[in-house]
Chain A
Amino acid sequence: MIFSSLTFLFYFLPIVLIIYYIVPNKMKNLILFISSLFFYFIGEPKYGILMIISILSTYIHGLLMDKYKKHKKKFLVSSIIISLSFLIFFKYTDFIIENINTIFNGKFDLLNLALPIGISFYTFKMISYIVDVYAGKVEVQRSFLKLATYVSMFPQLMAGPIVRYSTIEKELDERKYTFSIFLFGVRRFIIGLAKKILVADVLGDLVNNFSTVSEKTVLFYWIYAIAITLQIYFDFSGYSDMAIGLGKMFGFNFPENFNYPYISKSVTEFWRRWHITLGTWFRDYVYIPLGGNRVSKIKWLRNILIVWLLTGLWHGAAWNFILWGLLYGLLLVIEKIGLLKILDKIPSFISRIYVMFVVIIGFVIFSVSGVSQIKECIGGLFGIGVEKIVNKESIYYLLNYASIFIIGILASTPIMKNIILKLKQKYPRAINILEPMTLSLLLIVCVSYLVDGSFNPFLYFRF
């Protein structure tokens, strides 16, 4: 089930909310767990069991670590190996086979396994738990229900933010419910829904036209590149907004996952603003354990390389994702050894253009199917292998989607938020009436798109 569906909005959510708020507090985790299983099962019936087994393994390893403290490192390693092997088996086996076949001229058959939805996310959540138990940062969780509720909680089950166990450890026992928190959740949820339905999915239609366009021009390649850049951001940050909003409705505080990444003035800053919970996860569970930057230059370079290779691979089992990750790794090294200082000194619009240029090229690499298409698309942006700069078709696409581009670009910056905050200070009463009206309108428009729409799963479910 996906959030941006009528089934979720008008069947699943009202039923779960009613039951959740009727039952006594001690039953609430159970209700969340059961509804999360249902939520997962209805979309991914085959792999529900896999998730339960994974959670059970992590749960037991946690208990064993607590009981046999002397051997806790062994249990840590064993738990991580089990969790990762599920992930590797389902996500990377075919990629490994393909590469072996290419390099050694082998003829091994591919397994063609479907990727269990959300496996990349829930595996990382469980690793964060077991590592934190090992490091003594959190208490071992003795209740299977609570651990399972944490891992499988439907608001953040299938995509980001990657909520760490330590973040919601206390909230698993005790949560605060107020109308103010609930409304915050509703607001975030509707904003996320609008980002997904009114921007990401609409641009998705444009992106899907890529293969059917009869003659690609330089303008079309740029339209495509900007559309995909906006689509990925609105899709994923929309999902994160909805997750955070739903979390609030059920009394949980999830961490923020995006902070206007497209206004960054360096790639380093971009990664502090983009998919924040993934970046910090890799920092805390890979980069720092490897020694971080408190090692020799060579080892530091190695650490960065490993982190960005893994970041690329985490997004997908294909070479374009690896290239995408390594591109960022390379740029971060260049920035750290000197470019950052230059970026600081030059006018900020130039550094922003540099970041967006990198990001757009990055997402073109990210979104193509296969390495050969990278050459075509990036070349296309600069007129290589393209006959025309514009044609009627490209202009049609530009005009047809102009308003969406403008809204998308504006909504990628904090301009609107700042205006609203200022108005709220000046005219608090008016905003208190305008805000619910705006949210209602957004909800009605989103529903109208859903009623007339086709089914659009989130991009990040692939990862």
Chain B
Amino acid sequence: MNDKVKDVVVSILFLITIVGVLVINLILKDKDISYSERRKLAQFPDINIENVFNGNLTDEIEEYAMDQFPLRDEFRSIKTFVKLDILRQKDNNGLFIADNSIYKIEYPLDEKSVLNVADKINNIYNKYLNNEFNVFYSIIPDKNYFLDDNSIYLKLDYKALDNIMRESINSNIKYINIFNELSSEDYYKTDTHWKQQNLTKVVNKIANKMEFLDRMNEEFEEKKYTNEFYGTYYGQLGKKIEPDQIYYLTNSYIEQATTYNYETNKEASIYNIEKANLSMDKYDLFLSGATPIIEIRNSNAKTDKELIIFRDSFGSSLAPLFTEAYSKIILIDIRYISTDLISKYINFNINQDILFLYSTLVINDSGSLK
């Protein structure tokens, strides 16, 4: 190719490319949802005087252009490939792969955030509970905790986090340490969460400490929900790795129990297969996903004891495993309901055991707790 031919060909190719993308953008129908990233995609913004004059319109249009760009997922994969495999950068958007599992950098320790969680727990205790209640708290390590200490990846100072919590939380609230009952194998490779089928050691430890182990007699049976679970991290990283499988543990108590959602006033089964089938996040199988207050009702219980769990999403898969031991388990997620409003829905009494159960992810980024 001589210089003249090259000049003409490449110039025209460049023009065809940018005009072509413009035309494709105009022709292609906008999508509502990205299944791989599990989020709603930006739509073309309404143009009004306000967003024109506060300068937000440009940002909104750019977000729209990013979200609706043709072959968006493929382009995102190219970026991940260039960053991780060609430039050998260690992470992309804070995510990295180690031992064939996707991790998100959770660093550094935010002491204020940890103190905030301790404060919230103490406030709830002071407001609704007293020393006649059996109150416990436990910390769920995120999977970074199990990264090799010699790996180059940055790890939270889990010891310091643990110390702050122990020093700051009211001494009437007893600590249940479950760090040793878990390992990296107990977490999904493509997601933040733990695998329910691996939680029996955790269940035993908590049941033992909270003294309800003697009410847990029936074995669990393992069932498979799906062969293809692509978790949150999978979509964020934009790199193809093998999907996870979701299994769940059940027994006659769990199968016959129902859940009642305080927000929607709807009943459902503990493992909500219909909801999970429709949802972008298959982890919604467990207790139908995120919600302010949900109750597990076990009419077959041989006790009238109740359990209240203040929890994040990790609790959704753990709580069902306690079903046999309680007549009622109420799960409260104070990311979605203010602690001041809880008494409108819940009557606290000493027939209830109380468990605060938070993952290190929420503890280190607790701004959303109300």
* Chain A contacts to B: CB under 8 angstroms: 1, 5-7, 9-11, 13-15, 17-18, 42-46, 178-180, 182-183, 186, 212-214, 392-393, 395-396, 399-404, 407, 428-429, 432-433, 435-436, 439-440, 443-445, 447-453, 455
Q: What is the 8 Å Cβ interface bit string for chain B, positions 143-166, against chain A (1 contact, 0 not)?
A: 000000000111000000000000
- Is the CB–CB distance between B79 and A183 below 8 Å? no
- Is the CB–CB distance between B52 and A45 below 8 Å? yes
- From B8-16, B190-198, B316-324, the one touching the partner chain is B8-16
Question: Assuming A7-B58, A10-B65, A45-B55, is B10 touching A447 (CB within 8 A)?
Answer: no
Q: What is the 8 Å Cβ interface bit string for chain B, positions 1-21, against chain A (1 contact, 0 not)?
A: 111101111110111011101
- Is the CB–CB distance between B76 and A448 below 8 Å? yes
Question: Assuming A7-B65, A392-B154, A451-B66, is B19 touching A403 (CB within 8 A)?
Answer: no
- Is the CB–CB distance between B108 and A393 below 8 Å? yes
- Is the CB–CB distance between A453 and B15 below 8 Å? no
Main secondary structure of the interface of A (DSSP, over half): helix
- Is the CB–CB distance between B6 and A183 below 8 Å? yes
Of chain B, the residue at the smallest CB distance from A13 is: B18
- Find the residue from B18, B55, B89 having the highest chain A CB count within 10 A: B18
Q: Give chain A nearest CB distance to B73 CB in angstroms.
A: 9
Query: Beyond A42-B58, A213-B108, A435-B6: 10 further Cβ-contacts under 8 Å?
Result: A10-B25, A14-B19, A17-B18, A42-B57, A182-B7, A183-B11, A403-B87, A432-B1, A445-B78, A451-B79
For chain B, residues 29 to 69, give those with C-beta under 8 angstroms from any C-beta of chain A.
52-53, 55, 57-59, 61-62, 65-66, 69
Question: Assuming A399-B90, A403-B89, is B22 touching A14 (CB within 8 A)?
Answer: yes
Q: Give chain B nearest CB distance to A420 CB in angstroms.
A: 14
A179 to B69, CA, bound (A): 29
Contacts of B57 in A (CB 8 A): 42
Of chain B, the residue at the smallest CB distance from A189 is: B14
Question: Assuming A183-B11, A429-B1, A432-B2, is B79 touching A11 (CB within 8 A)?
Answer: no
- Is the CB–CB distance between A14 and B18 below 8 Å? yes
Q: Give chain A nearest CB distance to B100 CB in angstroms.
A: 20
Q: Give chain B nearest CB distance to A185 CB in angstroms.
A: 9
Contacts of A444 in B (CB 8 A): 75, 78
- Does chain A have a CB within 8 A of B72? yes
- Is the CB–CB distance between B152 and A399 below 8 Å? yes
- Does chain A have a CB within 8 A of B126? no
Contacts of B66 in A (CB 8 A): 6, 450-453
Q: What is the 8 Å Cβ interface bit string for chain B, positions 249-280, against chain A (1 contact, 0 not)?
A: 00000000000000000000000000000000
A393 to B155, CA, bound (A): 9
Q: Give chain B nearest CB distance to A448 CB in angstroms.
A: 4
- Is the CB–CB distance between A186 and B65 below 8 Å? no
Contacts of A428 in B (CB 8 A): 3
Contacts of B300 in A (CB 8 A): none
- Does chain A have a CB within 8 A of B88? yes
17 pairs, A vs B, C-beta closer than 8 Å: A6-B62, A7-B58, A46-B53, A214-B107, A392-B152, A393-B108, A396-B153, A399-B152, A400-B91, A403-B88, A403-B89, A432-B1, A435-B6, A445-B79, A447-B69, A448-B76, A450-B66
Contacts of B62 in A (CB 8 A): 5-7, 455
- Is the CB–CB distance between A395 and B18 below 8 Å? no
- Is the CB–CB distance between A396 and B58 below 8 Å? no
- Does chain A have a CB within 8 A of B351? no
- Does chain A have a CB within 8 A of B216? no
Residue A449 contacts which of B53, B65, B79 (CB distance < 8 angstroms)?
A: B79
Contacts of B315 in A (CB 8 A): none
Q: Give chain A nearest CB distance to B233 CB in angstroms.
A: 15
Contacts of B231 in A (CB 8 A): none
Q: Give chain B nearest CB distance to A74 CB in angstroms.
A: 38
Q: Give chain A nearest CB distance to B53 CB in angstroms.
A: 5
Of chain A, the residue at the smallest CB distance from B153 is: A396
Contacts of A180 in B (CB 8 A): 3-4, 7
- Is the CB–CB distance between B154 and A6 below 8 Å? no
- Does chain A have a CB within 8 A of B346? no
- Is the CB–CB distance between B53 and A15 below 8 Å? no
- Is the CB–CB distance between B6 and A9 below 8 Å? no
- Is the CB–CB distance between B89 and A401 below 8 Å? yes
- Is the CB–CB distance between A6 and B69 below 8 Å? yes
Question: Assuming A10-B65, A186-B14, is B58 touching A43 (CB within 8 A)?
Answer: yes
Contacts of B82 in A (CB 8 A): 445, 448
- Is the CB–CB distance between B65 and A452 below 8 Å? no
Contacts of B76 in A (CB 8 A): 448, 451-452
The 9 closest A-B pairs by CB, nearest first: A214-B108, A6-B65, A448-B78, A448-B79, A179-B7, A448-B75, A451-B75, A400-B90, A14-B18
Contacts of B19 in A (CB 8 A): 14, 17-18
Contacts of B4 in A (CB 8 A): 179-180
- Is the CB–CB distance between A10 and B90 below 8 Å? no
Contacts of B108 in A (CB 8 A): 212-214, 393
Q: Give chain A nearest CB distance to B17 CB in angstroms.
A: 8
Residue B75 contacts which of A43, A429, A447 (CB distance < 8 angstroms)?
A: A447
- Find the residue from B11, B14, B69, B87 having the highest chain A CB count within 10 A: B14
Contacts of B15 in A (CB 8 A): 14, 17
Contacts of B78 in A (CB 8 A): 444-445, 448
A439 to B9, CA, bound (A): 13
A8 to B153, CA, bound (A): 37
- Does chain A have a CB within 8 A of B172? no
- Find the residue from A178, A179, A445 having the highest chain B CB count within 10 A: A179
Q: Give chain B nearest CB distance to A78 CB in angstroms.
A: 32
Contacts of B58 in A (CB 8 A): 1, 7, 42-43
Contacts of A451 in B (CB 8 A): 66, 69, 72, 75-76, 79
Question: Assuming A14-B19, A17-B15, is B55 touching A44 (CB within 8 A)?
Answer: yes
- Does chain A have a CB within 8 A of B93? yes
Q: Give chain A nearest CB distance to B114 CB in angstroms.
A: 13
Q: Give chain A nearest CB distance to B5 CB in angstroms.
A: 8
- Does chain A have a CB within 8 A of B199? no
- Does chain A have a CB within 8 A of B109? yes
- Is the CB–CB distance between B10 and A11 below 8 Å? no
Of chain A, the residue at the smallest CB distance from B79 is: A448
- Is the CB–CB distance between A186 and B52 below 8 Å? no
Q: Give chain B nearest CB distance to A206 CB in angstroms.
A: 11
- Is the CB–CB distance between B25 and A186 below 8 Å? no
Of chain A, the residue at the smallest CB distance from B96 is: A400
A270 to B58, CA, bound (A): 36
Q: Give chain B nearest CB distance to A392 CB in angstroms.
A: 7
Contacts of B153 in A (CB 8 A): 396
A323 to B2, CA, bound (A): 52
Contacts of B59 in A (CB 8 A): 455
Residue A183 contacts which of B10, B88, B152 (CB distance < 8 angstroms)?
A: B10
A212 to B113, CA, bound (A): 14
- Find the residue from A6, A46, A186, A439 having the highest chain B CB count within 10 A: A6
Q: Give chain B nearest CB distance to A459 CB in angstroms.
A: 18
A213 to B21, CA, bound (A): 40
- Is the CB–CB distance between A432 and B6 below 8 Å? yes
A249 to B148, CA, bound (A): 53
Contacts of A183 in B (CB 8 A): 6-7, 10-11, 14
Contacts of A404 in B (CB 8 A): 87, 89
Contacts of A392 in B (CB 8 A): 152, 154
- Is the CB–CB distance between B152 and A395 below 8 Å? yes
